[in-house]
Structure 1
Amino acid sequence: MKRSVKLLLVTATLASPTMPGAIQTAALAQNAAPAAGQPAATPTTPIPPVVPTVQVWRREAARELLAYVDAIGEEGLDPAAYNPDRLRTAIDTGDDGAITPVATQLFLRLTRDLSGGAVRGNGRGESYLPDVTIGAARQQELLARASQGGVEAILDGLHPVHPQYALLRRALAQAPAEDRARREIIRANMERWRWMPRSMGARHVIVNVPAFTAAIVDNGSVTVRHRTVVGARRTQTPQLSAEITAVTINPWWNVPQSIIREQGGRFGGGYQVTRGAGGGMSVRQPPGPRNALGRVKIEMPNPHAIYLHDTPAQALFERPVRAFSHGCIRTQYVRDFAAVLLQATGQWNRGAIDQAVERGRTVSVPLTTRIPVYIAYFTAAGTNDGNIVTYADIYGRDSAVRAALNRAGGAATASR
């Protein structure tokens, strides 16, 4: 069954940031007054157990669900992972009592995978992106509707709405069945879009590590894109999200403990070294042209101490493969990048930033509005003609995603 593409027309829904460990049918309990003439319950009076509300599936709705699973290969997922034959058997045997539990289990699994991704845990690589899977209450709401019909529209509403997902989906449909490598990389990157929030913000920054780029996106269009240097293979840049809060001009560099250990505590002149009574050491590098952060740092507080910043090693931006940092994102022409972020202040353009740099004092300029930033790992991007652009899998993360997607047996087909 071939389903039409509706991804760009779907309104984004807010998703719960957490995912319950187990998803069960919701049970609604309510304290009710005793009926007239009946005694009130006491501690010695047995209270009848609450019976969960079960959404009974209509046979036609179950057929819609089965057709959706049979065509799930269009979304880069494997129909076999959902064991559709169980539901097919229940429908074919005419046992209405068998349809509801099988359809419910299948539907809840689909809502989980479509809204937050089928690949979990270590399969995602070093990822600290919040879980965007819809919560149990939302699942139950959708279950109540889908069990009566309209399954396709309900499940389609869970897909990523970012244009890249639609372009990758189109590329998958056009990829020859025998081109396994091409299909696998498309599927892996469609899956990565399921890990991303459906609403990323009218203005946001996205860093694509394999592409070595950082972009400012305004209302769905890239308005600024700069080259970056990302973490080396042994000090990989993680996937995460944060908010840009400020731009620091002439920053100090607080040397991470990992680098202090790597250096054996040996630092040349110009560093401020402080030794604690217990033998610990802290090291700071003052602002200046030789500072490891360069002259501008973009603040985005996060527990991993990852941020965008300038660098004195400008020559590295000319390299085709730019994986040399300790994890942070060195950004080319970062003063221009910062000027765009500070545009709303009405005071901090590129000229004002240059003047502040020359004065040499450390200045922190807050943004008028915090801007979401996403550090992502996409090894393929779709193009308008149905092709893809690929980037080197510098950290070797694709194989784990592909393996997890195929674990149920066999690559998904474009359509059934």
Structure 2
Amino acid sequence: MLLVPRRRLPSLGSLVLSAGIALSLSSPLGAEPLAQITPFRQAVAETVAGQAGLAENYRARGFAGIWTGTQAAAVARRNALLSALSSADAHGLPVARYDPEGLAARLRAARSAEERAAMDVEMTRVFLRYARDLQTGMLEPGRVVPLIRREVPLRDPAETLAGFLDAEPVAFLRGLAPTAPEYGRLMRARAELQRALDAGGWGPRVPGGKIVAGDSGPAVVALRDRLVAMGLLEPVSVAVMDPGMVVAVREFQRRHGLAVDGVVGPGTLAELNRSVEERLQSVLVAMERERWTNMDRGERHVLVNLTDYSATIIDDERETFRTRSVIGATSDDRQTPEFSDVMEHMVINPSWYVPRSIVVNEYLPQLKRNRNAASQILITDRSGREVSHGAIDFSRYDASSFPYSMRQPPSNSNALGLVKFMFPNRYNIYLHDTPAKSLFGRETRAFSHGCVRLSDPFDFAHALLAAQEEDPEGFFRSRLATGRETRVNLETPVPVHLIYRTAFTDAEGGLQFRRDIYGRDATIWSALEREGVAISRPAS
């Protein structure tokens, strides 16, 4: 608790000037003239001295209290705040971080003007901390995971406090949380998982070994019981993998991004045996991630969920197009970063300007072994002139001294395929076609150097062009048929959000999970735990 020790206080005029607050001694302070400043207000001014943000807010109120006192407004504010803090766990925030019971006790114990002033300022600090945590998250994402290169939409604390003071307290505090429907669905999922945990979880793990239709035995019984506990199967007494259980397994696989075949193999078994606690952790991380993106994403936007290996077009909160994707490989230098930007144009029949890292780390070693390797790649000098492979002694160069660039002209075998979608960014990440179509049939699709490959790039282009062309398919085909590199601007640029959600809801509101392919959510969960987030476990 912050207490101001009893001592002879300086005059308010000298106090506010020493705090760096511009104030005319002849001007009024709020509704009261300077001569009517009370010991409480003087104590508040002293408490906030040197704290620019708080000082400005309190100065604007003439250093009047916000939370303390018997006035109806102050009572309503503090009751609303203490109630909200006590329910912080509904948002996955740790109640202990705000200590509502301790705040209430110290408020009751405050007697002197200095003690009451200190508690008023402390309540404001807690309010602002809670507001920031709920609006935009507890963590700074880039500090936790460097490849989360996202600008969190932080609110101005002074504006937040001013808005609170002008609003009905309970309604304002409820409105702090993200308003995106996904956040509300995740809140409900958190509550449901907590109830499942309180009820004992999903029962024993399913023993190892493949389970197929017609199998029987202890493993099938354990599978049956777990599917029932998860709500995927009506309670039954059969001990055989019957058609009903196969349907339930298929639904589980669909909800977890697995190959939907109704067979319990190693991958399905591993996901089945994850505990309620693990799933609850994923939801709590997803809620924190939603707070990081608590902003207007655009009436139309592209959403790329890396863990789901998907790219979707969203129009007015409704998915209007979906395609599979391939993302960056799991090695540290190839993972796809998370960020938001704006798609400005597409390039039909693109050239591939080979990134420097690929030039020197992949192609140069090949060319040292065989100067005729990578014949599909053109080599250019610093002036952009093409240089034949035979004119270069590749053995003379290493990664730092190689003076050439590389480019692959437009073709069906171009590494970018026949179209790329550009949202210029410093990470050189974009969406594009690919000639390696077989990869889209795999369950796990982390193979690229960082960019996002699309399974249905032509249809994706048609969907984007439909906003500006009467015949988007015909328009696209006509440009494609030329074989020439063609830039097509989007008349209305489209925001693109590269996100990473191991827990999310589908169009029907059902909860889905994906593997933590890059291990990022595990890192975030550890950081949340350090901030006090914990899962409430039933007493044993």
TM-score of the two chains, using structure 1 as the length reference: 0.82
- Take 1:67 and 1:253, find their aligned partners in 2: how far apart are those partners? 58
2:189 is aligned to 171
Change (3 A) 1:213 1:59: same
Aligned residues: 374
Fraction of identical pairs, as percent = 35
| Residues in 1 aligned to 2:410 and 2:361: alpha-carbon distance in whole angstroms | 22
1:338-369 superposed Cα distances (whole Å, 9 cap, x missing partner): 11111122256223322322220111111111
Q: Name the SS for the 1:166 alignment partner.
A: helix
For residues 328 and 136 of structure 2, what CA distance do their matches in structure 1 show? 26
Amino acid in structure 1 at the alignment position of 2:454? T
1:409 matched to which residue of 2? Answer: 532
Paired with 2:507 and 2:351, the residues of 1 have a C-alpha distance of 44
By how many angstroms is 1:66 displaced? 1.5
Q: Is the 8 A contact 2:93 2:533 kept in 1?
A: no
Is 1:74–1:413's contact at 8 Å kept on the other side of the alignment? Answer: no
Query: What are the equivalent positions in structure 2 for 1:351-366 lying under 5 Å apart?
Result: 351-366=474-489
Q: Match of 2:98, as an amino acid? A: Y
> CA offset at residue 185 of structure 1?
1.1
Of 99, 122, 131, 1:111 maps to: 131
Residue 80 of structure 1 contacts residue 408 of structure 1 at CA under 8 Å; is this kept in 2? no
Residues 209 and 375, structure 1, Cα contact 8 Å, conserved in 2? yes
Q: Does 1:100 align with 2:120?
A: yes
- Where 1:100 maps in the other structure, the secondary structure is helix
Q: Does 1:258 align with 2:357?
A: yes
Q: Which residue of 1 aligns with 2:160?
A: 139
Indicate yes or no: 2:169 matched with 1:151: yes
CA offset digits 1:48-68 (Å, max 9, x no partner): x99642453124422321211
Provide, for residues 49-106 of structure 1, a one-character-per-residue CA deviation record: whole Å limited to 9, x for no partner. 9964245312442232121111011011111222334412222325433431221110
**Contact 1:132 / 1:195 at 8 angstroms: preserved in 2?**
yes
SS in 1 for 2:444: coil
The aligned counterpart of 1:21 is none
Distance 2:290 2:27 in 1: 52
2:378 alignment partner AA = Q
Report 1 or 2 for greater relative contact order, CA contacts < 8 Å, sequence distance ≥ 6: 1
Which residues in structure 2 correspond to 1:267-282 (within 5 Å)? Answer: 268-276=374-382, 279-282=402-405
Are positions 1:72 and 2:88 aligned together?
yes
What displacement does 1:275 show?
Answer: 3.8
CA distance in 1, matches of 2:75, 2:109: 12
Residues 283 and 32 of structure 1, relative CA distance in 2, 3 Å threshold: farther
Q: Secondary structure at the match of 2:415?
A: coil
The 5-angstrom pairing of residues 328-367 of structure 1 reads 328-346=451-469, 349-367=472-490
Q: How far apart, CA to CA, are the structure 1 residues paired with 2:454 and 2:505?
A: 24
Within 2, Cα distance between the matches of 1:382 and 1:268? Answer: 44
> What is the TM-score with the length of structure 2 in the denominator?
0.64
1:412 & 1:63 partners in 2: Cα distance? 26
Structure 2 equivalent of residue 8 of structure 1: none
Secondary structure of 2:424 counterpart: coil
Return the alpha-carbon distance in structure 2 between the equivalents of residues 32 and 248 of structure 1: 65
Change (3 A) 1:124 1:76: farther
The aligned runs of 1:11-410 (5 Å cut-off) are: 29=22, 52=56, 53=59, 54=63, 55-57=65-67, 58-95=74-111, 96-120=116-140, 121-145=142-166, 150-175=168-193, 176-178=196-198, 179-234=276-331, 235-265=334-364, 266=367, 268-276=374-382, 279-346=402-469, 349-382=472-505, 387-409=510-532
- Counterpart contact for 2:329–2:446, Cα < 8 Å: yes
Distance in 2, Cα, partners of 1:355 & 1:276:
34
Where 2:81 maps in the other structure, the secondary structure is: helix
Which range moved further: 346-355 or 113-122? 346-355
Higher helix share: 2
Deviation at 1:30, TM superposition (A): 6.5
Match of 1:38 in 2: none
Note the residue ranges of structure 2 that are not aligned, 5 or more in a row: 1-18, 29-49, 68-73, 199-275, 368-372, 384-400
Greater share of strand residues, 1 or 2? 1
Structure 2 contact 469–475 (Cα < 8 Å) conserved:
no
SS at match of 2:410: coil
Note the residue ranges of structure 1 that are not aligned, 5 or more in a row.
Answer: 1-25, 36-48
Contact 2:81 2:173 in 1 (8 A): no
Aligned mates of 2:510, 2:492 — CA distance in 1: 37
Going from structure 1 to structure 2, the CA distance change for 1:407 and 1:357 (only over 3 Å counts) comes to same
Please give the root-mean-square deviation of Cα atoms over the aligned residues, in Å.
2.8
Q: CA deviation at 1:332?
A: 1.0
Determine the C-alpha separation between the residues in 2 that align with 1:412 and 1:27.
45
- Using a 3 Å threshold, how does the CA distance of structure 1 residues 32 and 283 change in structure 2: closer, same or farther? farther
Contact 2:186 2:504 in 1 (8 A): yes
Whole-Å separation in 2 of the counterparts to 1:97 and 1:308: 56
**Contact 1:167 / 1:383 at 8 angstroms: preserved in 2?**
no
